[in-house]
Structure 1
Amino acid sequence: MTKINVALLFGGGPPGPLGHDMSVEFARSVYEALDRKQYNPILVAVASDGNWWLQENTNGFPLRPGSSSAQLILLPAGRGKALVHRHDENNSTCNVDVAFPISPYACTGLLEIARVPFVGSRLPAPAICGDKQILKRILRDAGLPIARSLVLTTKEEVKFQFAQEALGSPSLFVKPATLYNSMGVSKVTCETEFEAAVDLAFRYDSKVLVEEYVQARELECAVLPDIDQPSKLLCSWPSEIIPDEHAFYTAQAKLDEKGVVLKTKAELDDAEADRVRSLSCEAFRVIGCEAMARVDFFMRPNAELLINEVGVYPALGPSSAFPRMMKESGIPYKVLIQRLLEDAIKRSERAKIPMT
């Protein structure tokens, strides 16, 4: 049987444990889960400057991926044909049958231009979910529940008291609009904290969201389409994030094993769980997601639900929320990885069918 060449794309984004390093660790888990009888992994480290470095001559997953002597360059409309460019000009070609981007900074547009099957949603879903303001507008216009928010494009646009009154909330959250993993997010209760939080958020982004503080439980759902019937969605039982030593699910809490508890099966009655699942599927369809998504919620004490975020590239380490919810739904980690690859190939095959 001819093996399928899988390009694992990892790295990219900002350095540090919540950026590049996390992507590398997730890639290592996917690499180890691949069935070597069926798949041949091609390891590609994406540098912070955007270059793709082919990791050659490795006995397993590279411990310290980075620049190498060869760059991988996918050819536009090449359907997987790629140039391997070497400094000594001893260039060659290879073929990528399917790509597996493992990063919030996934190269979705480039993969679409190259016409390579890939794991994850096609545009515009990743772009929509990558901008919290745009995501909230689309969800709101579709009639789905979200928290109230304001958008800042300059530091001086809004004062703390005005934001409090406009959002009907004594405490507020300030966050960069396009960053992930809670980086640059602050909870504020006074003018001084607000100004510092806005300054911090603008260091990361040119657009900042100010949101009402929602006293609520934090829930998540994992959504996975059927490979043969994409309109049929598998939605997990919701999980719950319970901050312990942190005021909310901060970037630091995501690095602190003792700072947060992830309860894979949240304590909800069937009706509550069904409402979370139903809204998860609605959000998935409204955004135009494919392949997979994690939908995050707030549940107020009166059981009112608000959609917080939709992630089309959820963390894919074995102990991450999405794989854990899928395992609880009867899909173990290795099966999940296999299914995501099969889905990517099937979607590509359907896209080639001519319209009549």
Structure 2
Amino acid sequence: MTILNVALMFGGRSAEYDLSMRSARLIYEALDRKRYNPILVGVSRDGTWRLQENTKNFPSQLDSSGPQIMFLPGGGGKALVDRCSDDNRICHVDVVFPMLPDGVLEGVLETAQVPFVGSRLPAPAICMDKQIIKRILRDAGLPIARSLALRSQEEVKFQFAQEALCSRSVFVKPASFHSSIGISKVTCESEFQPAVNLAFSYGSKVLVEEYVQARELECAILQDAERPSELFCSWPSEIIPTDQHAFFTYQAKIEGKGVIVKTKAELDEAVADRMRALSCEAFRVICCEALARVDFFLRPNGELLINEVTTIPSLNPFSMFSRMMEEAGISYAALLQRLLEGAIKRSERARAGQ
């Protein structure tokens, strides 16, 4: 059996750095060494790609002194390892497992013609901008919550936001971050501007959304690598914030505390089927590939709203995506194998112009 070189890319300049490191470590530990040889590529906070060498275990911190590594355009997986000396070398990567939710890396990997887990552009870039994805979903006739987009120079009063969104409370969030980073729930005038300032500290565009009193649910989608038109969608899971958190915060995601998680949500089959159908429709509308997670709000009256679509959800053994697949009978080892081998098949089809 040929052992495949799998480059795990993690870290990066995003505020989701810690989550990326954690996911990469858990995937690294879970990879079957009889099938895969992991190559660790850490992306430092300044954006430099560093090969993590001479380590028997996953590093607790990135080695910023390691050699730089870069994929050669059109190289099909060939990567230059630059040691700043005469012993530079070329290494070969069979497939990349990217864990940097920035919507940009996928374009670099496409240019290099190296297989990678996840969607090709434009889907990752679309899903990184909450305003753009909401517009696309809305124009496709899919249900979303009401929202306003703010630029850094704009000033909006809390009362105007309340009236425009028909909502007494609102959520303020950066437009280009996931994992609940920079999000605030605002219930009064005095909280609004600090929440806007916080969100703008993460980027130049901010979303103000209506507060939706609802259950928080999500579905995991896996595409068939041989028959791309066939999608498997899991039974929905549910996240229930406790009194410790007003919503599913970044802190709760890092610590795994303050929420109750039900891998199989208690739902009528008709509601679950409607949610799965909407998930698959959103997947196709955004031109996702390989996998995605679709997050929902379910109002007490039964109305469903799509909250978010993620093209590279957390894929460690304890993540919601992996747990939903496990519930559906797809083990974690089988999931990793399916994603990695599917990435190679998709790359082969792309090179063949299919």
What TM bracket, shorter-length normalisation?
over 0.9
Q: Name the amino acid aligned to 1:311.
A: T
Aligned partner of residue 204 in structure 1, secondary structure: coil
Aligned partner of residue 113 in structure 1, secondary structure: helix
Counterparts in 2 of 1:129 and 1:354: CA distance versus 1, 3 Å: closer
What is residue 269 of structure 1 aligned with on the other side? 268
* Structure 2 unmatched ranges of 5 or more: none
What is residue 60 of structure 1 aligned with on the other side? 57
What is residue 166 of structure 2 aligned with on the other side? 168
Q: Name the amino acid aligned to 2:227.
A: Q
User: Are 1:121 and 2:130 matched, yes or no?
Assistant: no
Q: Which moved more, 1:306-315 or 1:147-156?
A: 147-156
Q: In 1, distance between residues paired with 2:289 and 2:274?
A: 21
Q: In 1, distance between residues paired with 2:91 and 2:224?
A: 31
Q: What do the CA deviations read for 1:1-33 (whole angstroms, capped 9, x no partner)?
A: 332111111111346xxx222212211221122
Q: In 1, distance between residues paired with 2:8 and 2:152?
A: 38
Q: In 2, distance between residues paired with 1:138 and 1:70?
A: 41
Aligned partner of residue 23 in structure 2, secondary structure: helix
Q: Which stretches of structure 1, 4 residues or more, deviate above 4 A after TM superposition?
A: none
Aligned partner of residue 318 in structure 2, secondary structure: coil
Q: Which moved more, 1:45-54 or 1:279-288?
A: 45-54
TM-superposed CA distance for 1:156, in Å, is: 4.1
Alignment size in residue pairs: 352
Q: What do the CA deviations read for 1:32-76 (whole angstroms, capped 9, x no partner)?
A: 222222222111111111111111122132333322331111111
What is residue 240 of structure 1 aligned with on the other side? 238
Alignment of 1:1-150 (within 5 A): 1-14=1-14, 19-105=16-102, 107-150=105-148
User: Are 1:217 and 2:215 matched, yes or no?
Assistant: yes
Q: What do the CA deviations read for 1:64-123 (whole angstroms, capped 9, x no partner)?
A: 332233111111111111111003332111111111112213611110110100001000
Aligned partner of residue 43 in structure 1, secondary structure: strand
What is residue 152 of structure 2 aligned with on the other side? 154
- Work out the percentage of aligned pairs sharing the same amino acid: 67
Q: Name the amino acid aligned to 1:274.
A: D
Q: What do the CA deviations read for 1:127-159 (whole angstroms, capped 9, x no partner)?
A: 000000000000000000000001111354321
Q: In 1, distance between residues paired with 2:66 and 2:301?
A: 59
TM-superposed CA distance for 1:258, in Å, is: 3.0
What is residue 338 of structure 1 aligned with on the other side? 337
TM-superposed CA distance for 1:354, in Å, is: 4.3
Q: Which moved more, 1:169-178 or 1:65-74?
A: 65-74
Q: In 2, distance between residues paired with 1:250 and 1:128?
A: 23
Q: In 2, distance between residues paired with 1:213 and 1:69?
A: 46
Aligned partner of residue 201 in structure 2, secondary structure: helix
Q: In 2, distance between residues paired with 1:3 and 1:177?
A: 40
TM-score by length of 1: 0.96
Q: Name the amino acid aligned to 1:30.
A: I
Q: Which moved more, 1:283-292 or 1:51-60?
A: 51-60
TM-superposed CA distance for 1:257, in Å, is: 3.0
TM-score by length of 2: 0.96
